[in-house]
Amino acid sequence: MKHISVLLEESIELLNIKDEGIYVDCTLGRAGHSQEILKRCTKGHLYALDCDQTAILESTPKLEKIGSNFTCVHSYYENIGEVLDQYGVDKVDGILMDLGVSSPQFDDGSRGFSYRSDARLDMRMDQSQDLDAYQVVNEYDLDELTRVLREYGEEPFARKIAQKIVNTREEKPIETTFELVEVIKSALPAKELRKKGHPAKKSFQAIRMEVNQELPQLSRALEEGIRRLKPQGRLCVITFHSLEDKVVKKAFKEVSTPKKVDKRIPVTGEEKVEYRLINKKPIISGEEELLENNRAHSAKLRGLEKI
């Protein structure tokens, strides 16, 4: 399946790329966004990060066809500060984060991300890390599993599903995606199974987010990314579900809103903020993109600029 970068034109426009600028694509994937950044940044440099080594191997040749002024780094994007320090870079002109799992990761059934392909439970974006979906499903206790399903999947039947998982694995480990799907289905009432959408979707999302520590990683990456912007530098983030969007919205609001002060205390001057929201409402995909790419339906793009 062809990988289509979501909100490609919108995010590139929002970055406002300078020819001599320094840019970071925190989520290289299959280089859809990175290629467009590199085309517009002929005298600067692009640092492209990805925790998936396969993404780097497949994307590097694509970028080489455009230019040599790029560096691909096998790293989680929360390490953006360490990576920039490693290359002697202090501040940058722009940062892009395209969150979630890339289409090729879902399409590769052996990676264990999808409930539509039977494979060993895995779900690791970085295949060199230890924690995988098998461990979460078979080793987390009842309370931990319930927390994961409720917090990251917003699953209303989190406790019932977690209890069913615990009961099932007492007889035999749950080893594959299809085995997990059957366990989840067996924990849900009939009326839920009749609803539109796959009954395991929320649970699979939750386990994937736990395996890859997606929300904690996002919070750390946003904090460091905001700090690394030059004046007029921009940070653009594409989210795919409400949990991610809430984290981004909150982080952007905190740095772009003046702090409340006690009006009874005299101040020497008006407090100034260092950042501004580029778009107060998130940018979403247009009708044409929605027809071409189903994944775009939930995508939201937010941008922040250092003043």
The pLDDT score that the predictor gives to residue 294 is 82
Read off the DSSP letter of residue 120.
Answer: B
The pLDDT score that the predictor gives to residue 267 is 60
Average pLDDT value for residue range 261-271: 64
Whether the pLDDT of residue 129 is over 60: the answer is yes
19, two tokens? 């020819």
The pLDDT score that the predictor gives to residue 266 is 65
Whether the pLDDT of residue 103 is over 90: the answer is no
Indicate the pTM of the whole model.
Answer: 0.90
Beta strand 45-50 with 300-306 is unpaired
Whether the pLDDT of residue 3 is over 60: the answer is no
Read off the DSSP letter of residue 112.
Answer: S
Q: Decide which of 53 and 269 is more confident.
A: 53
Average pLDDT over all residues of the chain: 94
Query: Distance between CA atoms of 145 and 187, rounded to whole angstroms?
Result: 14
Percentage of the chain exceeding pLDDT 90: 86
The pLDDT score that the predictor gives to residue 263 is 65
Tell me, which fold does domain 115-212 have in CATH? DNA polymerase; domain 1 (1.10.150)
The pLDDT score that the predictor gives to residue 101 is 74
The pLDDT score that the predictor gives to residue 1 is 43
Architecture of the domain made up of 8-98+214-306: 3-Layer(aba) Sandwich (3.40)
Whether the pLDDT of residue 271 is over 90: the answer is no
Neighbours of 263 (CB within 10 A): 7
The pLDDT score that the predictor gives to residue 109 is 79
Name the 3-class secondary structure at 297.
helix
* Segments making up each domain of the chain, as ranges: 8-98+214-306, 115-212
The pLDDT score that the predictor gives to residue 228 is 98
